Structure 1
């Protein structure tokens, strides 16, 4: 008489413990990556200031190319760029880089020397003629 000996069944898949270990490892890795890529509020402000400075150079060049005054205008929530057409200011819509943007951290406190009246938006006009270098500066750093 022949006896059939069954071999132990082979398990397929993962155990609950293995799945939990993998999920914990993935969670730790995602936390480390997101923590490393988060910018501090100071870094966000610095990035925003650098972007604005570069865009202001671009809008200055637009004034030269179009032979028409251009402007940077900002309020506490964001900023946009204007061009002077037929005695009125219009937003620049045909240059993607000069689209309206919001500040990374708003509301933003803006100031200008000489001071503008309270509640008024800040506007800097660029003409076709050459102008001396201008600079954006960090008020906290210059006062502190």
Structure 2
């Protein structure tokens, strides 16, 4: 007589449980990989802080005022040559769009014009300001101390 050995394999229930666990893990990983609006707004604010530093340095090096002009959809940097503001031709300081748009922009001290206009002068000391970026469920601030330090809160 043959020795009967029981064959061992996975049951359908065991396979289903493994599939459910794998699906839940994949869902958690993909959910965490997608940035939420707060993270996207923070990315824009950090990028702006670095670009403000670069624009300030550019104004000092060129010995010409450089401005940051923005609306709810995007921003650009301009340079003042011969009393006329023209777009700055620089790969880093090129025109860009916000990751989340439209967004609400606010600046302190307040300005009496549409959008935001910040001028970086030729001198190493500028006026301090706070730029606030807002979307319906998040808000973040870019703060300038006037001597070249920019922080995000």
TM-score normalised by L of structure 1: 0.68
Q: Which has the larger radius of gyration?
A: 1
CA contact (8 A) 1:81 1:100 kept: yes
Listed as ranges, the matches of 1:1-144 within 5 Å are 31-93=27-89, 95-117=90-112, 120-131=114-125, 134=128, 136=130, 140=139
CA contact (8 A) 1:63 1:127 kept: yes
CA contact (8 A) 1:53 1:136 kept: no
Structure holding more strand per residue: 2
CA contact (8 A) 1:68 1:127 kept: yes
Unmatched tracts of structure 1, length 5 or more:
1-23
CA contact (8 A) 1:49 1:136 kept: no
Residue 79 of structure 1 and its aligned partner are, at CA, apart by 0.6
User: In structure 1, what is the Cα distance between the partners aligned to 2:98 and 2:79?
Assistant: 21
User: In structure 2, what is the Cα distance between the partners aligned to 1:105 and 1:28?
Assistant: 29
Residue 30 of structure 1 and its aligned partner are, at CA, apart by 6.0
Cα distance per residue 1:60-107 (max 9 Å; x no partner): 0000111111011110111110001111001112x1111111111111
Unmatched tracts of structure 2, length 5 or more:
1-19, 134-138, 142-153
How large is the RMSD of aligned CA atoms in angstroms? Answer: 3.0
